[in-house]
């Protein structure tokens, strides 16, 4: 083989090797996953659309006007009209976020991950820790397989448990109540 052919073979192999490296880096760049920050208008829409799958919507959800925009015959047929007994907000009664109030809407997720509705920056909280959602007019809290558990009163819950107004749910260092 000529000197030139040897050099060409040698350099073309190194080129192929680096081509692979850059292709892999390219895949990683396109493959970013995790969370993205959206402007409120666009983000709220997509979140609401997802939340609708989570649980049947509750009529009085002031924070999500988009809910009422879509006609929804089944829901309007429902008798669960504004009820003075029905809780409509979640209040953090102790912990770092004490005093925070969130509208319950169609249900809330609580956890450390940025996608939760109530984000708790707490070492004792799991990424997706607990879910608070309505079912047949009652509100339930469910643990989503967290490491340190969700407590209603003193009891660590292992299945969805109904919560009433004023009953305390403890997650890590935070206590929340439905009001």
Partner 1 sequence: MATVAPYPARPGRGAELGLLALALGTSIYAFAQVSLAMTGELTTDFKRFAIGYPALALVVHVLLRLRAAYADPVILPVAVLLNGTGLAMIYRLALRYQVSQPEFGQIFSRQLIWTALGVVAAVCVLGFLRDHRTLRRFTYTTMLLGLAGLVLPLVPGIGVEQGGARIWIRLGQMSFQPAEISKILLTIFFAGYLVTRRETLALAGPKFLGLRLPRPRDLGPIMGAWLASLAVLIFEKDLGTSLLFFGLFVAILYIATDRPSWIAIGLLLFSGGVVVAWRLFAHLQTRVDTWLDPFADYYESGYQLSNGLFGLASGGLMGTGWGKGRPDLTSLAFSDFIVDSLGEELGLTGLFAILICFLLLVQRGMRAAMGVRDGFGTLLASGLAFAIALQVFVVVGGVTRLIPLTGLTTPFLAAGGSSLVANWMIVALLLRVSDGARRPPPATHEIDVAGLMAAEEGSQAA
The torsion angles phi and psi of 128, rounded to 5 degrees, stand at -115, 100
With CB under 8 A as the rule, give the number of residues binding partner 1: 54
Closest Cα partner for 176 from 113, 127, 104?
Answer: 104
Q: Which is closer to partner 1, CB of 126 or CB of 174?
A: 126
Residues within window 37-76 making contact with partner 1, judged by CB under 8 A:
37-40, 43-44, 46-47, 50, 53-55
The interface region with partner 1, picked from 67-75, 85-93, 137-145, 171-179 by CB under 8 A, is 137-145
Query: Per rule CB under 8 A, is residue 28 in the interface with partner 1?
Result: yes
Check residue 11 and report its DSSP letter. Answer: H
By CB under 8 A, residue 97 contacts partner 1: no
**CA–CA gap between residue 143 and residue 109 (Å, rounded):** 10
Q: Which of 2, 4, 29, 30 binds partner 1 (CB under 8 A)?
A: 30
Instruction: Give the Å distances, CA to CA, from 119 to 19, 33, 38, 55, 152.
Output: 42, 19, 17, 20, 19
Site string for partner 1, 117-136 (x = CB under 8 A): ---------xxx--x-x-xx
Binding of partner 1 by 137 (CB under 8 A): no
61, 108 in Cβ contact below 8 A?
no
| Distances, alpha carbon 84 to alpha carbons 79, 87, 132, 165, 179, in Å | 14, 8, 19, 11, 11
Where along the sequence are the contacts to partner 1 (CB under 8 A)?
A: 1, 6-7, 9-14, 16-21, 23-25, 27-28, 30-40, 43-44, 46-47, 50, 53-55, 114-115, 126-128, 131, 133, 135-136, 140, 142, 144, 147, 159-160
């Amino acid at each position: 083989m000529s000197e030139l052919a040897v050099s060409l073979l040698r350099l073309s192999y190194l080129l192929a090797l680096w081509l692979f490296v850059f292709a892999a880096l390219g895949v990683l760049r396109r493959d970013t996953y995790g969370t993205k920050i959206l402007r409120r208008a666009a983000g709220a829409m997509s979140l609401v659309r997802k939340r609708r799958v989570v649980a049947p919507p509750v009529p009085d959800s002031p924070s999500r006007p988009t809910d009422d925009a879509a006609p929804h015959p089944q829901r309007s047929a429902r008798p669960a009209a504004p009820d003075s007994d029905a809780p409509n907000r979640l209040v953090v009664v102790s912990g770092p976020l004490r005093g925070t109030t969130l509208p319950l809407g169609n249900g809330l997720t609580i956890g450390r991950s940025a996608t939760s509705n109530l984000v708790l920056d707490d070492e004792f909280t799991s990424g997706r820790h607990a879910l608070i959602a309505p079912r047949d007019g009652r509100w339930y809290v469910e643990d989503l397989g967290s490491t340190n558990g969700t407590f209603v009163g003193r009891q660590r819950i292992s299945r969805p448990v109904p919560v009433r107004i004023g009953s305390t749910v403890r997650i890590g260092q935070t206590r929340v109540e439905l009001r």
